[in-house]
Amino acid sequence: MAKSAKTLRITQVRSAISRPADQGKTLKALGLGKIGRSVERPDNDSIRGMIFKVKHLVEVEEI
């Protein structure tokens, strides 16, 4: 039986205002943009890299 892929729930907790433009674009690429908004994304290296770039703006939990 195949093990299901892990999922990450990413919630924006801080604003991207007064941050470098690339951090705002990274939030948009993750599907965020407003404080309190959450998205679920697959747990892979590219998503982990985007999270690392904006780790001070988001909270992450594994599902």
What CATH number should be reported for the domain holding residue 44? Answer: 3.30.1390.20
What confidence score (pLDDT) does residue 43 get?
A: 95
What confidence score (pLDDT) does residue 11 get?
A: 98
What confidence score (pLDDT) does residue 5 get?
A: 78
What confidence score (pLDDT) does residue 4 get?
A: 62
DSSP string, 12-55: E-S--TTS-HHHHHHHHHHT--STT-EEEEE--HHHHHHHHHTT
pLDDT (tens, 9 = 90+) of the chain, 63 residues, equals: 455 679 999 999 999 999 999 999 999 999 999 999 999 999 999 999 999 999 999 999 999
**Number of separate domains in the chain:** 1
What confidence score (pLDDT) does residue 3 get?
A: 54
Range of the domain at 25: 7-62
Residue 57 lies in a domain: yes
Residue 33 lies in a domain: yes
